[in-house]
Structure 1
């Protein structure tokens, strides 16, 4: 885990979360245009964390934080899992993914999970990783959603690709489970149960997780 994550000050965290409170997982569709979103109610810490990423292969726009529950913001917390450092734990009930750190801490990410009938749980590992991956629908998906047959040979990478900017492929007993940890531009889906079984993170968060989780990283998905 070579990448560093700064911990927000209490003042920065409260400025981001409290001010929003005062205002009272397949494809993505978004513009490739990069622009600054006027979000004065959020702290600079989160505006920078979820700001534009122009140097990617496909430049990534800023996240409109007004559309994201503050409980889904990436943050460092006391580790609630009890697992060994370097383990990824997905708590589907909470809609959170934890990457366990040294010293009793964990990075917590908001996630979207599989809808009813498409959930998966168990212990596995990151079998492989890909930046801006190609997406290929499964046979079952093409039968269920005929419109996906257009991409039987694979959908090229890009902002609208269902796997997004990064994908971590979940393997169990050396075999691909066909489930992934991957990116999404559908901010509204984070915190929901909407995918076909994969675990989706915001582009900014999957890029961060990708940099910290090598092939072989243990994964635990809890119901």
Structure 2
């Protein structure tokens, strides 16, 4: 999702700066994948006890070891301590709120400087903040898209089980890449054509697909 949004926005992910609020299972993996798959620089992360910032890029394996040992990201050698609130307002290319619902609301949305906000948490941007970010020209990738990959792979598992088949990791990754990429492009095209936000477009397509499936089954 982020790769497609960056491509459309003309952002080269290699060297792009990333801040992640929420360095748990979701946020930590998002940070690692941003670095290993795209070459992005993760400059700030946070957890419930505070955050750390290194504008040259955090050493994520060392930071993960530090968190495992201490139970927090703060106190990481060579990094500046920042608050969760300050992390959301950093001047970065990509902001990943992966912690709390409504972390970005009407009170702080105007201070968000990221070009792309990717909702890895459930509902981290309030409705009021959504409108503010759109007015500012920020690309907001809704949680419905960002969190879709896990559900897609669960579907792949179901298909394999029903067919008594087995796909290797490469096949899963390739199928997931195709489905997520095509989904983002369909949502983006709908958003452009109907002058919707990505969130509105995603829900429009989702509801339409449910209705079509219900018709095909003779339920309506």
Task: State the TM-score, normalizing by the size of structure 2.
Answer: 0.21
Larger of the two Rg values belongs to structure = 2
Q: Looking at both structures, which has the greater relative contact order when contacts are Cα pairs under 8 Å and sequence separation is at least 6?
A: 1
Task: State the TM-score, normalizing by the size of structure 1.
Answer: 0.21
Bigger share in helix = 2
Bigger share in strand = 1
